[in-house]
Structure 1
């Protein structure tokens, strides 16, 4: 048996055995699992915390909303469906006799009163002649008793002079104005200026002095001239109502005067070559047709000017018994 040192030396001297060979294992193929869809998410910032909610005020007690008023149709003026001339006729009739109405139904009467009231209000400040309007109304309808209405020849001449100035004014405006509205009323056959000139000439031949126009006539003529330049509907209200008043009341006054102070002589002022009512009807139809293009404001102005027209004419009639 060899000693241990010899064995160790022998082991050290012998070559070392090679290590066992390692067989390389085959590489496994890398495979990824395919997903049906990839969901992409967008990063979002988390919302900031909301401020603390303040204590809400108590809700007010529930109030019932007022029911809307039913929408009514505007009231129609008497005669409005026919035209402004018919509206003015209603106002004129109410001015002549406030206690009488030609409208039977209550609603219509209220509207007529409103229209006449507006017209009277327009002339209220000017009616300072001590009851002239009422007296003129009675004169036109022949309601004055015998002895109350005593005309004089001198007074009647003054009335004719003022009337001529007024008719001269409206006929000159219509004949010379460039306003297209006035063209419809040229050569209407209603013209009275030339006829009054013949009557004044006859009085001159009888020895009566022909005076200058009075303040009443001059004031009215100046007003008509100014109105014709500024407002055609207002002027045409006077134009129509002057002829209307002359035919409906003036002729009656003239006939009375002819019987009382002229021994039955019929003046040219009250004569026409044709039917005067037809002439007035033609002027009325033209005015109604023209008023279709006016506003309600223009038509209301005509109603107010109707009162002014009768106010001025009343002052002129007063001259007959002055």
Structure 2
């Protein structure tokens, strides 16, 4: 009996797990805990102002990702359209809800702007590196992202379910469909191209981490009026 070869997404996931602590994920391998963001989300003490900044910055990145795959003339990007994981529209509705509740919505700042610009650059010249960011950003939102949403809802929003944590259909199947699409895109890659993609993982975590830290950082803008 021969074992079926696993797709490249499994390699991406294994590298990603090396950058998670055991508190963040059961398979996490990172031993050094540098700050609150490296601990279990359930132990976080989020602020509403910081969370709003997180949503604003995250929407910039989703806007960029969705625009890139929708507008690109490269055929491989077509495989990444309409995955069911798109979040830009949902985040827009959530921000409108916060606004209706009397919260000031902060303008975009450095991290989200920088990340969106970086993704635009990668998409035009470095598909393997772009795929790394695409995979990690979307999949992180369905894993740790959902735990963040649950924690914030319980601690700050009277258990309100935000739109950015709702998907049309069974999430497990949506994720599997995207895994299949990414495996298809990467099927013909050389080992060098695959390694280049994997080497981008740490940078994707750095960009995402800069946005994530807003949740734990109170700010002077965006306060309830």
Partner of 1:272: 167
Post-superposition offset of 1:286: 1.4
Q: Spell out the pairing of 1:284-295 with structure 2 (5 A cutoff).
A: 284-295=179-190
Given the alignment of the two structures, is residue 201 of structure 1 paired with residue 96 of structure 2, yes or no? yes
- What secondary structure sits across from 1:96 in the alignment? coil
Q: Which runs of 4+ in 1 moved over 3 A?
A: 98-102
Moved more, 161-170 or 231-240: 231-240
Choose between structure 1 and 2 for higher RCO, CA contacts under 8 A separated by at least 6 residues. 2
List alignment gaps of at least 5 residues for structure 1. Answer: 1-79, 103-112, 117-129
The total of aligned residue pairs comes to 210
Partner of 1:304: 199
CA distance in 2, matches of 1:304, 1:139: 25
CA distance in 2, matches of 1:200, 1:158: 10
Q: Which residue of the other structure, out of 148, 151, 155, is the alignment partner of 1:256?
A: 151
Partner of 1:136: 37
C-alpha deviations, 1:9-60, integer Å up to 9, x for none? Answer: xxxxxxxxxxxxxxxxxxxxxxxxxxxxxxxxxxxxxxxxxxxxxxxxxxxx
- What secondary structure sits across from 1:191 in the alignment? coil
Q: Which residue of the other structure, out of 62, 82, 88, is the alignment partner of 2:12?
A: 88
TM-score by length of 1: 0.61
CA RMSD of aligned residues (A): 2.2
Post-superposition offset of 1:185: 1.2
Post-superposition offset of 1:98: 7.7
Partner of 2:220: none
Distance change (3 Å), C-alpha of 1:101 and 1:197? closer
CA distance in 2, matches of 1:166, 1:244: 14
Q: Which protein shows a greater Rg?
A: 1
Partner of 2:138: 243
CA distance in 1, matches of 2:34, 2:109: 20
CA distance in 2, matches of 1:257, 1:101: 22
CA distance in 2, matches of 1:101, 1:321: 23
CA distance in 1, matches of 2:193, 2:97: 42
Whether contact under 8 Å (1:94, 1:101) holds in the other structure is: no
Post-superposition offset of 1:257: 0.2
Whether contact under 8 Å (1:233, 1:298) holds in the other structure is: yes
- What secondary structure sits across from 2:206 in the alignment? helix
Q: Spell out the pairing of 1:111-260 with structure 2 (5 A cutoff).
A: 131=34, 135-140=36-41, 142=42, 144=43, 149-260=44-155
- Flag the structure with higher helix content: 2
- What secondary structure sits across from 2:39 in the alignment? helix
Q: Spell out the pairing of 1:54-65 with structure 2 (5 A cutoff).
A: none
Post-superposition offset of 1:139: 3.8
- What secondary structure sits across from 1:95 in the alignment? coil
Whether contact under 8 Å (2:136, 2:204) holds in the other structure is: yes
Q: Spell out the pairing of 1:9-48 with structure 2 (5 A cutoff).
A: none
- What secondary structure sits across from 2:84 in the alignment? coil
TM-score by length of 2: 0.87
C-alpha deviations, 1:262-301, integer Å up to 9, x for none? Answer: 0010000100111122111111111112212011111111
